Amino acid sequence: MGSATRIYSVMAQIDNAEAMTSVLALIRDRDKLAERLRNGETGFAFEYNEKVRTGRYVVSDAITVMCFSVTDLTPHEAHAIAAECRKLSEWGHTEFQAAAGRALGGSFERLQ
């Protein structure tokens, strides 16, 4: 985990098209994912953007969608966070932050 590693999170109601567009803006297959979410799919998805060294983690409960972006990661670190996320039964910023900390061997402080 680099000293510049940060976690960003956003959340939207699936029935709010404008918010969904904003939440999924940086996801590569955003149109496909948005359609799956609107059709009621639930679960977890992950992608790593090597160019900007950022992991993106998307989770949905069929009502809301949350996207967490973690910056300054190696591919190995991004996959380790995804592995920790797959173990989660409850989702929120605090739970994601703890999972990322376990994966990276550190902790994160929430900034306002």
In tens, the pLDDT along 38-88 reads 999 999 999 999 999 999 999 999 999 999 999 999 999 999 999 999 999
pTM: 0.87
Rounded CA separation 50/107 (Å): 23
The residue with tokens 């983690």 is 57
Rounded CA separation 34/109 (Å): 30
